[in-house]
């Protein structure tokens, strides 16, 4: 096994395990994941570091990811929806699990029975959770989210004042966390960061005393003022760049994506290539078709202007991305049918792919499809 200084470990796939049946292989390095958690814990000294594992752990697999984070010492986890919390609970029976979107009406009892904690974002959610606590004859734990300036989720300033004025609203609720979310944390100089920090402090002071949380992945790197008692990294755990414009990514790469060559061909000068014949061979070319496409989450807009890699050699994509295939210009590269090429790896990380697609690394990871063979390596595999 060869280790690269700037890439995921290069460990050949075991074809005997059925990887040959897929068009691509998605490798997740759980050792790198754990190292990223440890790096964030070092950065956020004094604050608890939670793990955001919503959207199937950003597309990488909630079971292996959550268990690896637990092994590294993570004890608090965030998901977006109750269905995700219900999947996570049997995997980590002792974890604190919060549901960022809160609970749909009528699902409160299902959450309470499994010790799942809602993030209460509205007065109706607060009333429903408090009413359940009254019926149960006790108090139920929850987080309360305030809107500090993103206009997405959380109590408005007026609603926070209403809660502060009516102690009965929170009578049955044990406030385990007061939180908000930063809109522009990946741009450290953006004035919204300071404005949201001030707003969060003001609104949190009106609510019951509890641990505070504001920082996401990028927020961890904005400095101690933003970290409070708990930080909630997501993309940084999975190797994504936390801050826009930073040349050096402090996180280790977690993902490698390889695609299999399914056919080779030579075409003459003037041959049209791919749907719409959007590329035309200016000279005789040697082409390889690989077996993934937009049905696997590879953005269609990447046709004609990004490359795959064989080692350090770039293999430009030519023509449009199809549903199940992409065409590469491989020149005289020593490649044959069945060989694997890198789409995400040491020469092209997930942020580079996202930049070429005019999107963000979050979307690339969470779009990766079900047809990839998934392989987990590292000490927690």
User: Catalytic residue among 37, 54, 238, 294, which?
Assistant: 54
- 33 with 237: CB under 8 angstroms? yes
DSSP per-residue string spanning 255-277: EEEEEEEEEEEEE-TT-EESGGG
Catalytic residue (choose from 37, 58, 238, 275): 275
Backbone angles phi, psi at 344, to 5 degrees: -125, 125
CA atoms of 216 and 240, how far apart (whole Å): 13
Is residue 355 within 8 Å of 292, Cβ to Cβ? no
For 100-215, strand residue ranges (E) read 116-120, 140-145, 173-179, 212-213
CA distances in angstroms from 213 to 52, 181, 288, listed in the order given: 13, 8, 49
What are the two backbone dihedrals, phi and then psi, of residue 4, each rounded to the nearest 5 degrees? -100, 145
d(CA 12, CA 351): 23
**What SS3 class is residue 282?**
coil
- Which residue has 């290539």 as its token pair? 273
Strand partners, 9: none
Catalytic residue check, 54: yes
Question: Is position 275 annotated as part of the catalytic site?
Answer: yes
Per-residue HEC secondary structure of 151-171 comes to: CCCCECHHHHHHHHHCHHHHC
- Residues with a catalytic annotation lie at 54, 275
């Amino acid at each position: 096994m060869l280790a690269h200084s700037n890439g995921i470990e290069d460990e050949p796939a075991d074809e005997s395990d059925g990887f040959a049946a897929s068009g691509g292989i998605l490798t997740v390095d759980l050792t790198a994941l754990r190292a990223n958690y440890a790096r964030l814990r070092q950065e956020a000294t004094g604050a608890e570091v939670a793990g955001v594992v919503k959207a199937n752990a950003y597309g990488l697999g909630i079971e292996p990811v959550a268990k690896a984070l637990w092994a590294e010492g993570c004890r608090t986890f965030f998901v977006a929806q109750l269905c995700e919390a219900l999947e996570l609970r049997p995997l980590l029976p002792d974890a604190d699990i919060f549901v960022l979107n809160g609970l749909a009406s009528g699902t409160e009892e299902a959450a309470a029975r499994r010790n799942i904690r809602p993030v209460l974002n509205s007065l109706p959610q607060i009333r429903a959770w408090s009413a359940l606590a009254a019926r149960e004859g006790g108090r139920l734990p929850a987080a309360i989210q305030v809107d500090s300036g993103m206009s997405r989720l959380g109590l408005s300033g007026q609603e926070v004042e209403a809660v502060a004025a009516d102690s009965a609203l929170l009578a049955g609720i044990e406030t385990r966390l007061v939180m908000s979310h930063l809109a522009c944390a990946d741009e450290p100089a953006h004035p919204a960061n300071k404005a949201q920090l001030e707003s969060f402090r003001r609104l949190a002071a009106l609510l019951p005393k509890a641990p505070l949380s504001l920082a996401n992945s990028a927020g961890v790197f904005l400095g101690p003022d933003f970290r409070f008692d708990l930080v909630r990294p997501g993309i940084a755990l999975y190797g994504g760049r936390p801050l826009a414009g930073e040349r050096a990514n402090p996180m280790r790469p977690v993902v490698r994506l390889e695609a299999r060559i399914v056919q080779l061909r030579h075409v003459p000068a003037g041959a049209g290539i791919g749907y719409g014949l959007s590329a035309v061979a200016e000279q005789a070319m040697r082409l390889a078709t690989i077996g993934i496409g937009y049905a696997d989450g590879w953005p269609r807009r990447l046709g004609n202007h990004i490359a795959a890699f064989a080692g350090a050699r770039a293999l430009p994509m030519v023509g449009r991305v199809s549903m199940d295939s992409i065409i590469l210009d491989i020149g005289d590269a020593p490649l044959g049918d069945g060989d694997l090429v890198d789409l995400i790896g040491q020469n092209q990380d997930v942020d580079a792919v996202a930049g070429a697609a005019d999107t963000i690394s979050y979307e690339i990871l969470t779009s990766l499809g079900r047809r990839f063979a998934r392989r987990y390596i590292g000490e927690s595999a």
